[in-house]
Structures are given as C-alpha cells and as structure tokens.
Structure 1
C-alpha cells in the first residue's frame, strides 16, 4: 500500500500543537522530554513536516496535560 501524504492537515495540526504548547509556556525541549520524543521531531510536527502517528498524538496530549480531544479539535 502506498504511503499517503496530507500536507495541509499536517500543517494545521502542527500549528495547533504549537499554539497549545506556547499557551502553556512549555518549551520544545520540555514537551519532548515529557513525551519521550526528540525535540527536533516535535519541531518537524509543528512545521507540518511529519505525519504523526496516533500513539504520538496520545503522548503529546499527555505531555501538554490536555484532553486528547483538545489536541485534535482545531
């Protein structure tokens, strides 16, 4: 099965993630450590250059201390 790209959705999700992170005063590095991810990967997500897996979305919600729905409601 061919890998699908959804650049517009990835960009929108990344922008929303960045707004949530900044509104909580959390740095890329701190969020990365809370989610056990590399901060460069979080940067790629926020810039829409990374297709996020569901498990990563769940970790990001935990790291931001927000309900999963809030992270996906943009």
Structure 2
C-alpha cells in the first residue's frame, strides 16, 4: 500500500497498540497517521469527520451508512 501512494515502506514505523480504543486515540491525537482497525469502532469518528477511511478489507459492506466506503478489492 505504501508504494502505491509513493511512500517508501522502509521509512514506516510499526506501532503495536492494545485494542481499538488505543488505536483511535492515537489517530485522533496525531500520534499515528494510519491504522488498521475494526470498522465498527471507526464509524462514529468517520461520521464526525475525525478520521478518513481509505478502504475496508471486507468483500462488501451491506449497511447504508457504509455505502461510500470503498473496499480494497474495488480499488484494485
């Protein structure tokens, strides 16, 4: 993914966090810029404009509130 957006993957730093709450806090506070987390934890923050979801790894999203979120497969 990093290469696809022009970022050298060797310059990325992996940070292990304990659970969705810690991950969301780190994102919202600017301590991390990208995260892999559960979609259900992310929806309130997406709706408030606090975060942007780049893709989901599910085959499809059936909930109307998630209709605008692209899947990784849709993006190639």
TM-score (norm 2): 0.27
Structure of higher RCO (CA pairs closer than 8 Å, 6+ residues apart): 1
Which one has the largest radius of gyration?
A: 2
TM-score (norm 1): 0.28
The structure with the greater share of residues assigned to helix is 1
